[in-house]
Amino acid sequence: MDFPVAPAVSARLAALVERGALGYPNWGATPSPAARLFVERMTARWGWTPDVERVHDLADVLQGVRIAIELLTGPGDAIALHTPAYHPFLNSLTEMGRRTVSLPVGADRVDEVERIIAEERPRLMILCHPHNPTGHRFDRPELERIAEIAEAHDLIVVSDEIHSDLVHGDPSDRARHLPFAAVSEVAARRTVTVTSASKAFNLAGLRWAVMHVGHDDLEERLRSFPDHFFGAPNIVAVEAAVAAWTDGAEWLAAVMEVLDENRHRLVDLLAEHLPGSRYRMPDATYLAWIDCSHLGEGAVPRDIFRERGVEVSPGPQFGSEGSGHVRLNMATSPAVLERIVTAMGGG
């Protein structure tokens, strides 16, 4: 993100340094204060109360995803995910020798999702909820269908909800995000939830995330590891997450206003500077998934834009569905966004 750090976060970190409190934390039992706050935040924000006994601190969200893959599946097993997909998920499957099962994105494609799952029999689904890179928001009916499919085909769902604070819509509407574990009691027992303050509050370099394990076998497996096997949380990252989640609401609301303006503005900017490109406004995230196939077969949009001075994520990184696409980060001011898109168009 191209925004200053939330004042609540910088004040808390400055105070930590001022006190010289960078030694071992004095938190008592695990999980960390940030992980405990996660329980409160989920309850207040989405009406879902994770079991604190099943909450684990992590270094990052990807670590949680990989732990679940490692402990719940074996080499050669199939794992399903909606594609185009956040590329570290795809890389995880390749590096870990799992077989990727691609699912189509869209509430109107759930029947297809079910057919593919029935055919391919994946053991696990990585649900990127909301979805990176398309910005798709899974609503209750779609989530309920996915939960039914999971139940019918004995699928474990790893729900990555790192973008859930970045869902657009009325901030007082608690239904704008529904944690997958909150869909039903049955869904909860098949779900591993991973999330972090790092995406919405731009703290990704600090390395802290949290995992809630609704799935009994995985929870048992995790408990069988000795303490510190997966490391221990970073005091700076935990303090930052606590500050963000306790006192960061105003900052986040202001950021959401800018992101909302940008996602709308991009429609006109693309029409003006990249006519022929196609873009569906994201329901969530600060990412724009842009189809630039109009640039011609064989053209590599990322390279063209790079030559014009703009760095975007290349679509093919997100799987074959990303061919001809790019992913643009919109977390900047409207003025900078305008410069970016003007430059993308060669202006």
Side chain identity at 40, as an amino acid letter? E
Position closest to ligand PLP via CB: 60
Cα 273 to chain centroid, rounded: 29
Q: Look up tokens 């706050």; give the residue.
A: 37
At residue 99, the 3 state secondary structure works out as: strand
Cα 316 from Cα 299, distance rounded (Å): 12
Backbone torsion region of residue 269, taken as left when φ is above 0, otherwise alpha when ψ lies between -120 and 50, otherwise beta: alpha
Give the binding-site size for ligand PLP (rule: CB under 6 A): 14
CB atoms within 10 A of CB 63: 17
Question: Which of 57, 160, 291, 338 is in the footprint of ligand PLP by CB under 6 A?
Answer: 160
CA Rg value for the chain: 20
* Strand extents, DSSP E, 174-274: 191-195, 209-213
Interface characters, 78-107, with ligand PLP (x: CB under 6 A): --------x---------------------
**Residues between 120 and 139 that touch ligand PLP (CB under 6 A):** 128, 132
Q: Which is nearer to ligand PLP, 8 or 61 (CB)?
A: 61
User: Applying CB under 6 A, which of residues 62, 103, 105, 243 lies at the interface with ligand PLP?
Assistant: 62
Q: Is 143 in the site for ligand PLP (CB under 6 A)?
A: no
Q: Per rule CB under 6 A, is residue 191 in the interface with ligand PLP?
A: no
First to last CA, the chain: 24
Query: CA-CA distance, 64 to 217, in Å (whole number)?
Result: 15
Asked if 204 touches ligand PLP (CB under 6 A), the answer is yes
Whole-angstrom CA distances from 318 to 82, 91, 94, 296, 315 are 10, 10, 13, 20, 6
**Among the listed residues 73, 83, 196, 332, the single contact to ligand PLP using CB under 6 A:** 196
- Told to check if 197 binds ligand PLP by CB under 6 A, we report no
* Shortest distance (Å) from residue 126 CB to ligand PLP: 9
Taking the complex as a whole, the smallest distance from the CB of residue 231 to ligand PLP amounts, in Å, to 14
Of the candidate spans 56-64, 74-82, 142-150, 232-240, the one that interacts with ligand PLP by CB under 6 A turns out to be 56-64
Binding residues for ligand PLP, rule: CB under 6 A, are 60-62, 86, 128, 132, 160, 162-163, 196, 198-199, 204, 209
